[in-house]
Amino acid sequence: MSKYKSLKEECYEANMELNALGLVIYTFGNVSAVDRDNGVFAIKPSGVPYKKLKPSDMVILDYDNVIVEGDLRPSSDTKTHSYLYKNWENIGGVAHTHAMYSVSWAQAQRDIPIFGTTHADHLTQDIPCAAPMADDLIEGNYEHNTGIQILDCFSSRNLDYNEVEMVLIGNHGPFAWGKNAAKAVYNTKVLETVAEMAYLTLQINPNAPRLKDSLIKKHYERKHGKNAYYGQ
Amino acid sequence: MSKYKSLKEECYEANMELNALGLVIYTFGNVSAVDRDNGVFAIKPSGVPYKKLKPSDMVILDYDNVIVEGDLRPSSDTKTHSYLYKNWENIGGVAHTHAMYSVSWAQAQRDIPIFGTTHADHLTQDIPCAAPMADDLIEGNYEHNTGIQILDCFSSRNLDYNEVEMVLIGNHGPFAWGKNAAKAVYNTKVLETVAEMAYLTLQINPNAPRLKDSLIKKHYERKHGKNAYYGQ
Amino acid sequence: MSKYKSLKEECYEANMELNALGLVIYTFGNVSAVDRDNGVFAIKPSGVPYKKLKPSDMVILDYDNVIVEGDLRPSSDTKTHSYLYKNWENIGGVAHTHAMYSVSWAQAQRDIPIFGTTHADHLTQDIPCAAPMADDLIEGNYEHNTGIQILDCFSSRNLDYNEVEMVLIGNHGPFAWGKNAAKAVYNTKVLETVAEMAYLTLQINPNAPRLKDSLIKKHYERKHGKNAYYGQ
Amino acid sequence: MSKYKSLKEECYEANMELNALGLVIYTFGNVSAVDRDNGVFAIKPSGVPYKKLKPSDMVILDYDNVIVEGDLRPSSDTKTHSYLYKNWENIGGVAHTHAMYSVSWAQAQRDIPIFGTTHADHLTQDIPCAAPMADDLIEGNYEHNTGIQILDCFSSRNLDYNEVEMVLIGNHGPFAWGKNAAKAVYNTKVLETVAEMAYLTLQINPNAPRLKDSLIKKHYERKHGKNAYYGQ
């Protein structure tokens, strides 16, 4: 029996949840889960429909994309996942989708402004939309370079991946992460919801103001601050 | 056995209905139900997923937010609920959500104009959007002050909470209430529906006129007036 | 046993279908079915939730709104239905809803332009939006006068109710009819679909042209003309 | 037993999938599947509701629209299907629907711009919207001429049906095809998804730029190029 059985199961469950939440059609998404002790992560195999997916189909790789276990080809976006795991040591899961509203903001090449408390309950910043990559980066090691693009975006904007657990890649779509795969999926759903709310807000009032700082701080702190009183 | 068993069940059922109606994702909402004879109310515990929720998880508090019964932390919005119960003696239930269209109007900081009979079947006024609170109120006893903000909004506009059973808090989202918890949930769904209709109406015709007074009166009266002929 | 048992069942099934198609929330709609031989029609009782509805709850009335059989109060919109049955002898069923896109066009007080073949498969005209009624008609016998308003709209525009089986009442919502109750529900769903398509079309291209006459004629005739070749 | 049993089953399954994916209401769509060895194709019968449809109901015709087997009248759009089979020898299935967003772009008479990688994962071109036909073509052999219109559109724009497996007919709706009926349905769903994304993108940013060539090439090639690494 595989020593990665529970890791594969965590990864499998998170992928199935992505589908159950309506965030993917066909095979347009992938979730991975990391095992920091063993320096490996599990990821969805490429192009396998959800209804045929089994926990044992998950592919195990190290952070240099060497397959450690698994008979199937891993997700075509694997190198973006591994780059994030290698560089961001606190994250435990990564999710990528082509969810409708997130993709539409990415195609519009716009950051999602922080308009309300639903957003501030999760992060204090606009959701960043990284610029499309330079041609040579696209033509080169594309998925690896997508990881670089994400880190460059966070670096140039002084964003902390421990707080901002989501990003849009211009013209492509969202990546989200978190302490484990389930949290990465949760953040993907939150991003999609906030993206739809921001879209509708601008339709109703093109001059809708950004959320004021005091409300941003209050809502973020009551859920994530040291005196947080949300949850059990 | 708890003397509040039936109160907890009413509260539990209303929270589950909120979820079944598609008005919440994850734990983004809460409903409470009051027991006027005993001066207490039941409310959803904070951050507990709907599929794990049990009637016995509901927390019982008095109007000063003292926990009377329950092992879990109550909803982080509890003080807004208690403030409404304390000040509005006729209401029996309160609901709060981050439902999509209601939140979008709140983020746009706009009242929802009364455009049609679906709206007038339930109230004769535009649905008010209370302004975001002053910074010191946000930084202080925030959820309590949210209750104050709602009452100030109703007072300054001469609105009667017995007729207008819903409000938007600017940049945040909707609160609704009614004679019991089920009615509060019903009003939340009506508000979300009317919010979507008003959004679409303005997309189709940015100059859509307000509903004329005679139609407002006719539709409201046939359902709520002393000669009402709607229902059994 | 009631002599109207099968009429009640037809009416009940059509009302339940309205709900199953997502055209109503709560009790925001009603369907009736006529028995021309006996000069009566069956209609949904007022304000009864769909999950509690039984065929035997349907109320039987004559065209002058006298209750012939039934213990419950009929739909508050009954007099509009009876007026249509009395004046339009070919129709066998009527449906009224507050469906989202149909209501939004009604609130925008705009006819739905014929933009494509989905529309032309069912009628050759823009879907008319009747103007809101004069105040004295609203304050008077409102639901009866709604029927008059529909007929006035058809008369002033030279529309034939045998072809145009649907209408919007300004600021209110849609009525649809047909050879029986099921067809009235079908037309309600078609209207809602065409209303959403027309809304999206104008968002994509505010100058979208009306469908050309040759295409209107071709699509309508291949389904409804004397040489129709659609269906079995 | 029919020699076309498996062809009918392929066709039946694809039609049912169209319905399961929410791409059709009522009977507003049809899928066909070809048997190149026998020079025939199976197609949905006209106007038969999905819940009554059986595999044995599928109609078998040759490319000149002569019925080879079947008791029911074939889809009214049959001649468009046969024209495509006759002229495009590599295709194995064709699907036609009145899906919401695809129809709305068709009614707007606009090509769907390539805005992102979801689009580029499937084709490198804008999705073409063929102009509505000339009046004499509409009044003549309409469905046959619709096929001509599609081929003229591809010819005048130098498009290859092996790569661009979808088209919008102005004022009407989408046709899609592929190596078999299931792929035609898949392409119909992809088209509908891309149509909704493009609509939302333009709402968020009316000046959203077309996807850059390097990204178009990278995404198309990684899935369809000779060094493709997507899928198993």
Chains B, C: CB contacts within 8 A come to 83
Read off the pLDDT of each residue in C127-149 and give the average, rounded to a whole number: 96
- What is the mean pLDDT for each group of 10 consecutive residues in chain D (232 residues)? 95 97 96 98 96 96 98 97 98 98 98 98 97 94 97 98 97 98 98 98 97 95 90 88
Secondary structure of residue C14 in the 3-state scheme: helix
CA dist., res. D208 & res. D227, Å (int): 31
Q: Supply the pLDDT for residue A41.
A: 98
The helix or strand, by DSSP H or E, that contains position A185, with its residue range, turns out to be helix A181-204
* C76 closest CB neighbour out of B203, B214, B230: B230
Structure token pair of residue B64: 């000063």
Read off the pLDDT of each residue in B170-185 and give the average, rounded to a whole number: 98
Q: Supply the pLDDT for residue B22.
A: 96
In degrees to the nearest 10, what's the CA dihedral of C159, C161, C164, C166? 120
pLDDT in tens, A141-176: 999 999 999 999 999 999 999 999 999 999 999 999
Q: Do C215 and D138 touch (CB under 8 A)?
A: yes
Give the single-character DSSP code of D52: G
Q: Which chains pack against B, by 3+ Cβ pairs within 8 A?
A: A, C
DSSP string of B144-206, one letter each residue: HHHHHHHHHHHHHTT--TTT--EEEETTTEEEEEESSHHHHHHHHHHHHHHHHHHHHHHHH-T
pLDDT in tens, C108-128: 999 999 999 999 999 999 999
Q: Do B72 and A204 touch (CB under 8 A)?
A: no
Three-state SS sequence of B36-84 = CCCCEEEECECCCCHHHCCHHHCEEEECCCCEEECCCCECCCHHHHHHH
> Taking the domains of chain C in order of start, what are their residue ranges?
5-223
CB atoms inside a 10 Å sphere around CB D93: 29
D-chain CB neighbours of A45 within 8 Å are 232
Q: Do D204 and A105 touch (CB under 8 A)?
A: yes
Q: How far is B20 from chain A (nearest CA, A)?
A: 14
Whether A142 is catalytic is no
CA dist., res. D88 & res. D167, Å (int): 14
Q: Supply the pLDDT for residue C159.
A: 98
Of residues A86, A9, A20, A68, the one with CA closest to residue A44? A9
* Residues pairing with D67 in the sheet: D61
Q: How far is D28 from chain C (nearest CA, A)?
A: 8
- What share of residues in chain B are helix, strand, coil (percent, to 5)? 45, 15, 40
Task: Say which residues have a Cβ less than 8 Å from residue A37's Cβ, sequence separation at least 6.
Answer: none
C55 and C8 Cβ atoms separated by less than 8 Å:
yes
Q: Determine the angle formed by the axes of helices A181-204 and B100-108, rounding to 10 degrees.
A: 50
Tell me the longest C-alpha to C-alpha distance in chain B: 59
- Catalytic residue (one of A121, A142, A161, A199): A121
pLDDT in tens, A55-97: 999 999 999 999 999 999 999 999 999 999 999 999 999 999 9
ipTM of the complex: 0.96
Task: Say which residues have a Cβ less than 8 Å from residue C206's Cβ, sequence separation at least 6.
Answer: none
Structure token pair of residue D142: 């309409």
* C46 closest CB neighbour out of B193, B209, B231: B231
- A67-69 β-sheet, strand order: A67-69, A59-62, A40-43, A29-35, A93-97, A173-178, A166-169, A129-130
Whether B230 is catalytic is yes
CB atoms inside a 10 Å sphere around CB B160: 10
Instruction: Kindly identify which residue of chain A lies nearest to residue D187, measuring between CA atoms.
Output: A26
Q: Which residues of C are marked as active site?
A: 121, 230
D-chain CB neighbours of C197 within 8 Å are 100, 103-104, 107
**One-letter amino acid of B194:** V
The helix or strand, by DSSP H or E, that contains position C173, with its residue range, turns out to be strand C173-178
DSSP string of C16-63, one letter each residue: HHHHHTT--STT-EEEEEEETTTTEEEEPBTT--GGG--GGG-EEEET
CATH 3.40.225.10 is held by the domain C5-223: yes
Give the single-character DSSP code of A121: T
Read off the pLDDT of each residue in B80-103 and give the average, rounded to a whole number: 98
